[in-house]
Amino acid sequence: MGCYAVQQSCSAGPQAVSARLRVNPVPEVASSSGIRSRYGLAVRTMQKSFVGGIWHTAAQFDGWMCHTLREGAPDELEIHFSQDSRMSIGACVRLLSYLQELEVLGVAVALCGLSPWGLGGYLDRIGLFDLLPDRTDLRMARNTNRFADRRGQSASLEEIVAIPPDLPLDKDLPRRLSDKLAACATEDVRDSLKQAAFTYFAELIDNVRLHSEATRPGFAALQVYTPVSGARRMVEITVADTGKGIVKTLRPALRQRLASLSDEDLLLLAVNSGISRHGAEAGCGITQSAKGILRWPEPTLDLRLTDLRLGFVPDPKGGYLVAERRNAPALYPLPGTHWVARYCLD
């Protein structure tokens, strides 16, 4: 007869609380197949984790996921959201990317505690539920897709769009995204903002198809946040793929001088100066995209790779500098290249 062991823990503050339930018929060991077993009896693990009632950016959600999966991915994972949980558009796309990766690892995920209002309503509104992997179970009290007739109608929101890696680029997508931003800007900066935004989206979305070597869809989305009072309007733009990551696709073709750079220095060079595996005249798209954001107030650029996350801020001397960095084990592995740009419109 088996016994049950429950392990509970929480991080500092309300960000993450998790409980892992282990059906443990006999002492367990790690088998070569990756399934914990002994004497032929498999052991399956089920974990419940709780997303607290705070505002989550993509970087904060990285921290939550790292804490939740610090003992490795279980066989089954229940993510419980509190009624007052909030997530930025970048965090929502990051959640979707993690769900893709957990499906690849064979983890059955259930999203629990979401209601038709609050965060559940927002995730429905931005189309996240339509893009859930097959093994992700959505447990909501009411039907989803209540906002299908509103998709594409908001002047301040571009819902999450899937970017198939093996199909021609939807050329209307970069224009649609840049038009949304331009419509929210004041007239004196509207044209320049539209051009900068179009360059950003066109280059990074095209990279998903041409350079990421991804086999699963990438994502793009945009949200303009309007404060109640006393603060500037802020836009958050996110583009993500599930490929090898920018460093792994660049390194094989770099000259020896560049190949010796650390990942952090290589990415800083890519953002500020431009490098490419296709020669000096190609591959300045990332630089053009990043520098276009510098024209606007309070810009930040967050880049997440498999086991590295860098936060870029403006360098007083020009270009960007790295203001924040996270490496494993402070990050749970997430394949691909994930960009989140934020800046003010006013």
285's CB contacts (< 8 A; 6+ apart) are 199, 202, 203, 204, 206, 207
pLDDT-based confidence at residue 327 (cuts at 50, 70, 90): very high
In percent, how much of the chain has pLDDT > 90? 36
**Tell me: the pLDDT tens digits for 41-70?**
556 799 999 998 789 999 999 999 999 999
CA distances from 139 to 78, 116, 124 (A): 10, 11, 13
pTM: 0.83
Of 145-149, 161-165, 186-190, 226-230, which range is least confident? 145-149
The CATH fold of domain 1-151: Transcription Regulator spoIIAA (3.30.750)
128's CB contacts (< 8 A; 6+ apart) are 92, 95, 96, 160
- pLDDT at residue 28, as a whole number: 38
pLDDT-based confidence at residue 13 (cuts at 50, 70, 90): very low
pLDDT of residue 25 exceeding 60: no
Q: Which residues of 254-285 are buried (b: 16+ CB within 10 A; e: fewer)?
A: eeeeeeebebeebbbebbbebbbeeeeeebbb
Q: What is the 3-state secondary structure (H, E, C) of the chain?
A: CCEEEEEEEECCCCCEEEEEEEEECCCCEECCCCCEEECCEECCEEEEEEECCCEECHHHHHHHHHHHCCCCCCCEEEEEECCCCEECHHHHHHHHHHHHHHHHCCCEEEEEEECCCHHHHHHHHCCHHHHCCCCEEEEECCCCCCCHHHCCCCCCEEEEEEECCCCCCCCHHHHHHHHHHHHHCCCCCHHHHHHHHHHHHHHHHHHHHHCCCCCCCEEEEEEEECCCCCCCCEEEEEEECCCCCHHHHHHHHCCHHHHCCCHHHHHHHHHHCCCCCCCCCCCCHHHHHHHHHCCCCCCEEEEECCCEEEEEEECCCCCEEEEEEEECCCCCCCCCCEEEEEEECC
- pLDDT at residue 32, as a whole number: 33
pLDDT of residue 300 exceeding 80: yes
Same fold, 1-151 and 153-346: no
pLDDT of residue 2 exceeding 50: no
Of 89-103, 153-167, 328-342, which range is least confident? 153-167
Average pLDDT over residues 209-231: 78
Average pLDDT over residues 323-330: 93
Strand 108-114 and strand 136-140: the pairing is parallel
Q: Which residues of 18-32 are buried (b: 16+ CB within 10 A; e: fewer)?
A: bbbbbebeeebeeee
| Cβ-contact 77, 135 below 8 angstroms | no
**Tell me: the pLDDT tens digits for 114-162?**
988 889 989 999 999 999 999 999 988 666 666 666 665 677 888 898 8
113's CB contacts (< 8 A; 6+ apart) are 80, 81, 82, 83, 139
Q: Which two tokens stand for residue 300?
A: 């930040």
Across all residues in the chain, what is the average pLDDT?
Answer: 79
**Nearest Cα residue to 7 out of 34, 45, 38:** 45
- pLDDT at residue 253, as a whole number: 67
**Max avg pLDDT among 46-50, 185-189, 220-224:** 46-50
Of 83-92, 222-231, 308-317, which range is least confident? 222-231
Q: Where are the domains of the chain?
A: 1-151, 153-346
- pLDDT at residue 5, as a whole number: 37
pLDDT of residue 19 exceeding 70: no
pLDDT of residue 242 exceeding 90: no
Which one has a higher pLDDT value, 323 or 197?
323
| Cβ-contact 156, 184 below 8 angstroms | yes
Q: How far apart are CA 329 and CA 49, in angstroms?
A: 19
Average pLDDT over residues 248-254: 74
- pLDDT at residue 11, as a whole number: 40
Which one has a higher pLDDT value, 53 or 75?
75
CATH of domain 153-346: 3.30.565.10
